[in-house]
Amino acid sequence: MDPFYSHYPFLEGAKEIVKEITPHYTQDEILDKAQDRLESAVGKGEVPTVGTTARGIELDLLSYAAARMVLVAAKNKAMCARVAAAEGRRAQKYLQQESDEKLLSIAKELELGLTKESGGFFALPFFDYLRFKPREEEFKLSAKPIAGGVVTLSRKEAERFVQEAARMKMDVLVHVSDMKFSPQILEIGKKAIALLPKASAPIENIAKTDFPPCMCRIIEDMKNGEHIGHQARWALGVYLVRSGMKMEEILSIYAESPEYNENTTKYQLEYLKNKEYSMPSCATMDTYGLAQNNCPCLYGGARKGTPVTNSRRRTGITRIEEKK
């Protein structure tokens, strides 16, 4: 059996094969493999590569499909993000060995307008570059040869973009409201969620009581691995350094994000602290689209105060001081 789709099970063609081979296996066989796959992706951040027997390849494909089902049932964004990243890395191992033509056809299915150039180079349209840009420093637009709306990439960079496009495709939780999942599937989901890496100090006991709804929302989004905008990141940073919390406490909040990097975060927070930025007002937060409707800052249609002053009013705690 051609293992192609077991290498890239997120491609459309995989669905057909899954439909075809499902009757050949028992549900327990499939779910056991799915559980292994998920627990490895969530716990270790990696998905094992495929064996070479026909049975191994088929079960591998089926385990991917079943694992997707578990993700949908579990409705946990953080888990979905972590699995997508792990599956993307696994796909990259196979991409390295593909011909240029195969690489291009996979890119095309992922809506990446990659084309082949002379001299072993690849070309990517500027707007695709921005949309699928990996986070590494080396992909800063200013470091890349760009001309006429096209960015020139090496083969290795092209592979990285295909990996990123695959990750983005898998980092989407399909919302199904009327579907019933078997208790077995829900159980696998619960067990996998328990394996998500934990930050040392849980934030819940502080956040739910002291923080205003706008900050809770940003933290929630961050924890779920959602891409939070620059302004949200900045506002949260200013809020936290103003809150009088210890640096370790603040870092533990950021640590729950799947993208967390201690050094970068620490550096950014120190920067905010030294610059003594003032907290944006709740009215400004509103124009950023960050304010929440259930916030005590709302008085007769207008927003008063800042998230810092409003945390204090809400809870009566004095620990959070507005710095003059």
Partner 1 sequence: MSKEQEYLGKCFSQYYAKWQPPISHVERREFGFGNWQTKIAFRHLSFPNSGALSARLMRDAPPYVSYSAAYYEFPDARPMPNKNWKGADLIFDLDAPAHTCGKFTCVECMGKIRGETIRLIEDFLVPDFGISKDEMIVNFSGSRGFHVHVTSESVHNLRREERREIVEYINAASVSVKTLLHDDSRFIKEDETRKKVYKFYGPLVTDGGWRGKIAKRFLQLVREKKLHEIGIPKKKAQELYDNYGEVENTLKAPVKRMDGGVWANWTRIGLSGVYGKMFEALVENTKVAISADMDSNVTFDTSKLLRLPDSIHGGSGFAARLCNDKGHTLFGKPTPKIEEFEPHVHAPVFSDEPLKMKIIEEVPSVLLRSGQMSEKYAKDALIEVPHYFGIYLMCKGAAILA
Site for partner 1, rule CB under 8 A: 125-127, 130-131, 133, 140-152, 227, 229-231, 234, 280, 284, 286-289, 291, 293
Nearest distance, CB of residue 139 and partner 1, angstroms: 10
Residue placing its CB nearer to partner 1 in the complex, 119 or 183: 119
**Choice between 130 and 176, CB closer to partner 1:** 130
* β-pair type (298-299, 150-153): unpaired
Pairwise CA distance, residues 107 & 161, whole Å = 8
Smallest distance, Å, CB 18 to partner 1? 32
Q: Which is nearer to partner 1, 66 or 81 (CB)?
A: 81
In the complex, least distance from residue 158 CB atom to partner 1, rounded to whole angstroms: 16
Sheet of 146-147: strand order equals 115-116, 122-125, 150-153, 146-147
Radius of gyration of the CA atoms of the chain, in A:
23
Nearer to partner 1, 261 or 287 (CB): 287
- Do the Cβ atoms of 308 and 320 come closer than 8 Å? yes
Q: Give the angle subtended at the CA of 50 by the CAs of 39 and 10, to the nearest 5°.
A: 75
Rounded CA-CA distance 274/64 in Å is 48
CB of 313 to partner 1, least distance (A): 20
Instruction: Name the minimum Å distance from CB 125 to partner 1.
Output: 8
> 141 or 179: whose CB is closer to partner 1?
141
Residues near 228 by beta carbon (within 8 Å), at least 6 away in sequence: 218, 221, 222, 236
Spatial contact of 221 and 289, defined as CB atoms under 8 Å apart:
no
Please report which helix (H) or strand (E) contains residue 55, including its range: helix 54-74
Least Å distance, CB 173 to partner 1, is 19
Distance between CA atoms of residues 42 and 58, nearest Å: 22
Q: What angle do CA 69, 71, 76 make, to 5 degrees?
A: 155
- Supply 170's token pair: 């898998």
Q: Which is nearer to partner 1, 51 or 127 (CB)?
A: 127
Nearer to partner 1, 140 or 180 (CB): 140
- Taken in order 172, 176, 182, 183, the sign of the CA dihedral is positive
Give min distance, CB of 308 to partner 1, in A.
Answer: 17
